[in-house]
Amino acid sequence: MTPAIEADGLHRTYSGGFEAVGGISFTVPRGEVFALLGTNGAGKTSTVELLEGLAAPTGGTARVLGHDPYRERAAVRPRIGVMLQEGGFPSNLTVAETVRMWAGCTSGARPVGEALAAVGLTDRARVRIKQLSGGERRRLDLALALLGRPEVLFLDEPTTGLDAEGRRDTWDLVRRLRDEGTTVLLTTHYLEEAETLADRLAIMHRGRIVTSGTPAEVTAARPARIRFRLPEGTGHERLPLGLKAAAYGRRVEIRTYDLQEALGELLGWARAADVRLEELDARSASLEEAFLEIASRADDLTGGLAEAPGGLATAPARPHAHEEAR
């Protein structure tokens, strides 16, 4: 089956020579949620606009449902939904009037009530646009993107401005759409959102993809961490030498690629030495930690990152010795 989205050597250069997208390639199978992440100005929105058919690439090719989204727009547009970072609505129309107007320009549109119910705006149907909160306007943006029952849905920062409940409701909706077979490509600054929703993701920096894979693959390439506080009179130098530890006074942090083994060794030592580890916290690397590390190192990929199995970039291993933080 033809993939839902294909980018092959995709470039986008603006007037003046600024290259926003520098030759990226990725594929999104049908029925997958794919997250495109990156620092501000990384090229995410520029990439998504090429895939939506809003602009022609400077180089390389884009395909959506097997078609060029720019040159074959008539074949692609009825089958996709687009939620831009910011929509523009006539301020004096009500929510229902806006959806009804949009539905008149959409092939096979959902009923207005169904679209509003999907995003939790049923009770705001008669409210004028100018009276909506920022989060409610984002939900209206999403309702309009879903009107045509799209096969591919592009969501550019879909939960910006939503409260915690609205964000969770949107996540549930995206999951339902995926389960029904819709392919979703989203950009987001909420890394928890990407970690929760995405089947796979790519992280961009300065117009290039610096790592990609499932959230588990991206985070597995970064060390887990164990943090605790030693009791008074117990120095960090007493810790087992096999653990890589950094001490900040009584606070200690251990980084490890095998959390279970390191935690077992630490707890075994603490039991044998009759040491109580205060404020003990152990967890695998989060997507946020991986993202921040990648962002800080991506300016010097060749010197600062090594290639890990599966094509993921990873930080060089830390020395296997206790390190006193200064």
Q: Are residues 160 and 255 in the same domain?
A: no
pLDDT at 199 over 90: yes
Do the beta carbons of residue 153 and residue 159 sit within 8 Å? no
Residues 279 and 207 in one domain: no
Residue 318: helix, strand or coil by DSSP? Answer: coil
pLDDT at 174 exceeding the cut of 70: yes
Task: Tell whether 178 and 248 lie within a shared domain.
Answer: no
Stated length of the chain: 326
Please give the angle made by the CA atoms of 124, 129 and 132, to the nearest 5 degrees: 60
- Do 149 and 31 belong together in one domain? yes
DSSP string, 66-111: TB-TTTTHHHHGGGEEEE-SS----TTSBHHHHHHHHHTTSTTPPP
Q: Confidence class of residue 219 from pLDDT cuts 50, 70 and 90? A: confident
Same domain, yes or no: 192 and 256: no
| 172 and 126 within one domain | yes
CATH number of the domain enclosing 226: 3.30.70
Domain boundary among 180, 213, 246: 213
Domain CATH code at residue 184: 3.40.50.300
The torsion region of residue 149 among left (phi > 0), alpha (psi -120 to 50) and beta comes to: left
Angle at alpha carbon of residue 196, lines to 194 and 201, rounded to 5°: 35
Q: Do 237 and 194 belong together in one domain? A: no
User: Do 125 and 193 belong to one domain?
Assistant: yes
Model pLDDT for residues 291-311, shown as the tens digit of each residue: 887 777 665 543 433 333 333
Domain shared by 39 and 90, yes or no: yes
pLDDT of residue 302: 37
Total number of domains in the chain: 2
Regarding whether 148 and 291 lie in a shared domain, the answer is no
192, 213, 234 — which closes off a domain? Answer: 213
pTM for the model: 0.80
Instruction: Give residue 239's domain range.
Output: 219-324
| Closest to 187 in 3D by CA, of 170, 172, 204 | 204
When pLDDT is cut at 50, 70 and 90, the band that residue 1 belongs to is: confident
Please tell me whether residues 20 and 54 are part of one structural domain.
Answer: yes
Mean pLDDT of 218-229: 89
For the chain, what is the total number of helices (H) and then of strands (E)? 11, 16
Judge if 263 and 299 occupy the same domain. Answer: yes
Of 178, 194, 213, the one marking the end of a domain is 213
| Residue in the block written with tokens 């164990």 | 226
State residue 214's pLDDT score: 94
Given this model, what pLDDT does residue 130 score? 93
Tell how far CA 167 is from the center of its chain: 14
